[in-house]
A and B are shown apart, each in its own frame.
Chain A
């Protein structure tokens, strides 16, 4: 794997689940529903769910991936998946720099 992918700009960004998004666990991972734009999205692996839930307490996407024990070899596929979650507004860039440790 190339270091370019590891260095993807999204990895350094602090992300968060949109406050209007609910996750429902399912055998394959989870369903995410955005009450604002009414979009239903599939999180197709349990690790994706774990990372999505960890976003709010880490200062970067990479931090959440590391904390969830996702091997670096898999990061490029997570970058792609979370970019698509960003497009549907399920995941958003956190506006404050402070992580939510509450």
Chain B
């Protein structure tokens, strides 16, 4: 690890969803300690209900840890973090807004864009169009979400998460509902965005190939209560292409992670 301060820094974090649960020692996640370098892409994998989404809520400040501390960019997290963009398995676009208007939504809310939104709308719209073009949504800016395919909606959703140039992108199984081909296409979309912008990424996923393909570091979580069971650096060379997923080192990594998850199931 380099000497630079970590970007995401979880120290002995425990979280129970209520005081009663805490008193009964019923935690959603337990004893999570992890830290990432600035610009690192991490993936969290694990079985259903392992507290991956809880982890996301902690990293964004939507929940406060019951014990331990969470710091992002050197600051203790005490409330919702505005330097974060989020995208989920469901694209959650607003059906009454066009793709462009959906992508602009964060700028209507987050400062400093909010106060200048009316005055600079053209400028922001141009920025959104550019971002949409980089994910291949040129010509769809003025379509409504229900006129787009699932994969296109998810691209738009990722653009919405990135429009305010957040330092951190949180993705909760963003490609889970897509077919295999679209999913792999979007891996590359995400890879390219990240390569250019170097935001921090926390990707929560069930898909081990996805995690190994995209991430610098993969964390394996146990089933509830969620703990980090293993940390695996992925030292596959970048830039990575889809061909790499058919190579021996790649499959060996996937298999290794798969076995760790398998042993969780049995225990």
A is bound by B: no
